[in-house]
Chain A
Amino acid sequence: MMKLGEGPMTSNADAAAIRPLAIEARGLVKRFDGFTAVGGVDLAVPEGSIYGVLGPNGAGKTTTLRMLLGIIDPDEGLRRVLGHDRPHEVAHAIGYLPEERGLYPAMKAYEAIAFLGSLRGLPLVEGRRRGKELLEEHGLGYAIDRQIRQLSKGMAQQVQLLGTLVHEPRLVVFDEPFSGLDALNQGKLEKMIRGLAAKGTTVIFSTHVIAHAERLCDEVAIIAGGKVPFAGAVDVARDRIRPQVRLETRAADGPWRRALPADARNEGAFWLFNLPESGIEPLLRALIEGEAGILSLSIERAGLHDAFVAIAGEAAARALEEDKPEEPR
């Protein structure tokens, strides 16, 4: 039987070859009462990267993350987290923010942070000290001695986020970290994630908001129907779709029209079509020779959303659209 780390990965093997992997998973399967929630997931998350797990609600993102963290065991497949087959063996080097946030309502903010740290092996006294420091650093100094039940939902979320990071983990896993945050705090969180990666921390987060992944991630895994049809660099995902050419000409008709690809469609003053496989130069030459009178020509690279649609299919994309992020409270 092949072990993790011995054989080639099916997806982003190139990236894996460059950097050591923080997370490696192969063929993870999880069934609940006969229902397959995750049906064979392969992942390779390079150390120090920001990695997004994309998919609509119910796609299997949370179940996948839970298996990677050892919260639940897979029915089939292998996983390796920070070089260990049992995630709990490296729990002290991992931080996890679950989708459904939870803190003890009667605990004071700094105590809550210290407790989350103590679960990861940080001595309580040190956790208290760091908890107070972190709250001060993030503008929550006034809430140090307040009980969680006295904080707003957003503030409690920030406290839990700080508790996730208090023990300075090497790997941070966020499950839908942006849900429930207002635009300002979403921006802060994005900045924090970039800051973590800059310090060498591996960040993996799940989201159904593609824009966050597009802005932040080096690599993504697209999960749909419990499987991973794509895992790799964001650019590679985009490159799955040929760039779109947007052409505006002076001449409405002429011999240049023969140079347009078969999929070209006319929208108002513009012609839209996929960039031909032969590239832009032969096309340009044909347009000029055919006296098209080019007014403008742009090549637009596909976005991650388009890539998602192409990879996961229309149904998954529609589901993603339906799972709009929560309105900021």
Chain B
Amino acid sequence: MSNPTGGRLSTLAAAYVVARRDFVAILFSRSFIFFLLGPLFPLLVGGLAGGIGAKVQQNVEPAKLGIAMTEFDILSMTRARHVLAGKLDGQVPELVEVRRLKPGDAFDPALAMRDTKANLGAIVSGTPQAPVLTGPVDRVERWKGEVELIAAEAAGMGPKITPVVTMGKLTGSTADTKRSRVVTAQMGQVVLFLLTMLLAGMVLSNLVEEKGNKIIEVLAAAIPMDAVFLGKLFAMLAVSWVGLTVWGVMIGSVFASAGQGLGSMPAPAVGWPVFFGLAVIYFSLAYLLLGSLFLAIGSMATTVREVQTLSMPVSMLQLLNFFFASWAMSKPGSGAEIAGAVIPFSSPFTMIARAAQDAALWPHLLGIAWQVLCVAILVRLGARLFRKWVMKSGPAGTRKRRWFSRKSKNAAPVAA
């Protein structure tokens, strides 16, 4: 007579039942409206955290001035730069030898700017008496004075008589590109971080609400706790994808209506399509890592207050992870960046920043594989903790009763 149309649910099918309920419930809840308003918060927080961003930008290796002259002139210019750097408190750009020319050698500074892999802002060529400064407009304008002073010192003219600097203005440089990509990397990290924190918080509230509603026992009796855990985790992920799609369409519409495309924004090194793909993957992995941790914590808590107390240290640690990843971003290829990519909770942030700064794709394959492994381990551990704790934490009254009954038992054991 039992249930002729149904049957035993597998863990995945049970997880789907929970996820479907949660997905629909959240999608039509007020919290989803707040979630949709989420993109406004990064703007606010971004503004407030501008100091951190500026610091990171400062930490990025400063652009250098390339030099292509004869050996003697290079030596003269280098010595002059050294003298001036002492006088001007290091405000003079560092010189990097691009090419040592012999008299009569042809040199195309624009071509050299395009081909160089060094962090060059501009190139000075010609002679100290008649220097030619080639680079992007803003950089050439900014460095014109410094180059005049260096050239005057090198030519032995003194500070009052300076040579005329011929300016060759280009449309871009490697340093500017790098700087722009840092902005993209920063944006990627901030959006990723805020989204994951927002979602993890939502999944936690959802669980606490269910514990408050006493629904969790109904779920626990019907399906394995692993299924409840997975269902809740993935429902929120699915909700976030809906949110991301909505935002994507909205932001795209705004850009389209303004007649601008992504071309006007600093392009990431891997290109926009790959960057977006990686962003979705890293976001999903970052959320699954943090969400499973938060769910495990939520299983131990009974009230919102307890949740706040328990989740605070984790939130703070995650903030530290984010700051670490932000800092590591300014040191590409360093040990710090590798550490950032290896530590599971900072890995998604570090890797999305890398995607903005470096075109190589293989580190992402490695990074994603590593993060998937970490997610699998953490989800498993989280589910185990969840199963252990979620039905253990009862109302305070029950604990009190148990405590009293233990006391009375000690006083006069009940004969059974």
Are B222 and A91 in contact, with the CB atoms below 8 A? yes
Q: Tell me which residues from 91 to 110 in chain A have a Cβ below 8 Å from any Cβ of chain B.
A: 91-94, 96, 98, 100-107
**In the complex, what residue of chain A is closest to B216 when comparing beta carbons?**
A102
Closest Cβ of chain A to B154, distance in Å, is 77
Residue contact A58 to B2, C-beta cutoff 8 Å: no
Q: Mark B214-236, 1 if CB is under 8 A from A, else 0.
A: 11111111111000000000000
Counting contact residues on chain B (CB < 8 A from A), the size range is 35 or more
Find the B residue at minimum CB distance from A313: B415
A74 to B197, CA, bound (A): 36
B217-270 interface with A by 8 A CB criterion: 217-224
- A123–B17 CB distance below 8 A: no
The answer to the question of A69 belonging to the interface, with a C-beta cut-off of 8 Å to chain B, is yes
- Spot the interface stretch: A164-172, A276-284, A302-310: A164-172
In the complex, whether A35 has a CB less than 8 A from a CB of chain B is yes
Residues of A within 8 Å of B220, CB to CB, are 71
Stretch at the interface among B7-15, B338-346, B349-357: B7-15
* B213 within 8 Å of A (CB atoms): yes
CB-CB under 8 A for A122 and B6, given A66-B391, A71-B391, A96-B221: yes
With A32-B402, A168-B1 in contact, do A88 and B414 touch (Cβ < 8 Å)? no
Q: Given A98-B218, A168-B1, A168-B3, check contact A105 B9 (CB 8 Å).
A: no
Name B386-416 residues within 8 Å CB distance of A. Answer: 391-392, 401-402, 405-406, 409, 412-416
Q: Is the CB of A121 within 8 A of B217?
A: no
Interchain CB contact under 8 A, B414 and A316: yes
Give complex CA distance A225, B216 in Å. 27
Is A288 interfacial (CB 8 A cutoff)?
no
The yes or no answer to B79 lying at the interface (CB within 8 A) is no
Residue A79 interfacial (CB < 8 Å)? no
* B213 and A119 form a contact (CB under 8 A): no
Asked if B373 lies at the interface with its beta carbon under 8 angstroms from chain A, I say no
B384 on the A face (CB < 8 A): no
> B49 interface residue, CB < 8 Å from A?
no
Q: Is the CB of A167 within 8 A of B217?
A: no
Q: Taking CB as reference atom, which chain B residue is nearest A225?
A: B414
> Residue on B with the closest CB to A70?
B221
A-B contact pairs, 10 of them (CB 8 A): A32-B402, A39-B416, A92-B9, A115-B17, A119-B223, A121-B9, A123-B6, A168-B2, A169-B2, A200-B1
Give me 14 other A-B pairs in contact (C-beta within 8 A), A101-B214, A167-B6 excluded: A58-B401, A100-B214, A102-B210, A102-B217, A103-B215, A115-B17, A119-B14, A120-B9, A123-B5, A160-B218, A167-B2, A168-B2, A201-B1, A225-B415
